[in-house]
């Protein structure tokens, strides 16, 4: 079953057609750059542009960086404030003329990785999935079941949100070496480890491509591995959500 998956981010909106039975992309990945803190109408227009470029009609799945319930975003930490309490699913449906389902972006990516990515993850009781990008997104799975809308990127580390100390955006902004950034990120992982006691930690997002550059600086008792789907996971997971919505 082919569905359109959309990954809404702070600097770009990406989308592709996905075979939801295999987890494989069956189209090009379309990326539309947007200014930081773009208003909803700009990004919703980007979603429709991606749909038109791919010639798609049908249910659309979208991941959004914030707490999402019933298609409504309750938070928008790294997005324009007007996203708060926005009915994103309704906005996408209104613009595109297609049905839409929206979920937290890290939840979407984690669902994809658990199903189509790391086989080791499916063997463990508790798995923590993190995305490293503009912020730090999180998803936790217990016996394969997702606990939705966790926001561990906002857990305080040394008086700051973890993502304000150790996201990829902070690494680039402060021009941190891989060692310095890795030590900061390791501190966040150790805090998550203490609180959650996961059996495995999977790192996704853009930095999953560069795992070998910082892996040696991560000091945890829990095994840490890069996501196999890397930064395509959000698109794949969003498409999975669209398929599930159709089947509901």
Q: How many domains does the chain have?
A: 2
Is 224 within a domain?
yes
CATH number at residue 138: 3.30.420.40
On whether both 93 and 166 belong to a single domain, the answer is no
pLDDT of residue 134: 86
d(Cα 81, Cα 48) in Å, to the nearest integer?
22
pLDDT of residue 5: 98
Predicted TM-score (pTM) of the model is 0.95
d(Cα 84, Cα 75) in Å, to the nearest integer?
5
Is 39 within a domain?
yes
DSSP assignment string, 71-110? TEE---TTS-GGGTTEEHHHHHHHHHSS-EEEEEHHHHHH
On whether both 210 and 240 belong to a single domain, the answer is no
pLDDT of residue 30: 98
Query: What residues in the chain have per-residue pLDDT under 50?
Result: none
On whether both 152 and 197 belong to a single domain, the answer is yes
The phi and psi torsions of 187 (rounded to 5 degrees) equal: -65, -40
pLDDT of residue 154: 95
pLDDT of residue 248: 67
The 3-class SS string of 102-137 reads EEEHHHHHHHHHHHHCCHHHHHCCEEEEEEECCCEE
On whether both 207 and 243 belong to a single domain, the answer is no
d(Cα 235, Cα 144) in Å, to the nearest integer?
20
On whether both 221 and 239 belong to a single domain, the answer is no
Is 113 within a domain?
no
Is 110 within a domain?
no
**51 is in which domain, residue-wise?**
2-105+234-247
On whether both 61 and 123 belong to a single domain, the answer is no
On whether both 182 and 134 belong to a single domain, the answer is yes
On whether both 91 and 160 belong to a single domain, the answer is no
On whether both 81 and 145 belong to a single domain, the answer is no
On whether both 98 and 132 belong to a single domain, the answer is no
On whether both 185 and 207 belong to a single domain, the answer is yes
Is 132 within a domain?
yes
pLDDT of residue 205: 87
On whether both 132 and 211 belong to a single domain, the answer is yes
């Amino acid at each position: 079953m082919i569905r359109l998956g959309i990954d809404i981010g702070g600097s770009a909106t990406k989308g592709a057609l996905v075979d939801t039975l295999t987890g494989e992309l069956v189209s090009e990945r379309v990326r539309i750059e947007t200014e930081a803190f773009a208003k909803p109408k700009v990004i919703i227009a980007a979603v429709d542009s991606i749909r038109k470029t791919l010639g798609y009609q049908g249910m659309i799945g979208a991941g959004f960086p914030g707490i999402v319930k019933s298609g409504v975003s309750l938070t928008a930490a790294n997005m324009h404030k007007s996203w708060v309490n926005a009915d994103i699913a309704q906005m996408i449906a209104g613009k595109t003329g297609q049905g839409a389902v929206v979920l937290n972006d890290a939840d979407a990516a984690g669902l994809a990785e658990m199903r189509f990515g790391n086989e080791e993850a499916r063997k463990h009781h508790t798995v923590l999935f993190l995305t490293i990008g503009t912020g730090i997104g999180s998803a936790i799975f217990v016996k394969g079941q997702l606990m939705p809308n966790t926001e561990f990127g906002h857990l305080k580390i040394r008086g700051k949100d973890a993502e304000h100390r150790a996201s990829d955006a902070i690494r680039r902004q402060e021009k941190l070496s891989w060692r310095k950034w890795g030590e900061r990120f390791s501190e966040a992982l150790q805090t998550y480890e203490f609180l959650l006691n996961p059996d495995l930690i999977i790192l996704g997002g853009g930095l999953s491509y560069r795992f070998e550059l910082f892996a040696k600086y991560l000091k945890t008792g829990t095994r840490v591995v890069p996501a196999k789907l890397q930064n395509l996971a959000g698109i794949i997971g969003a498409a999975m959500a669209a398929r599930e919505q159709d089947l509901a």
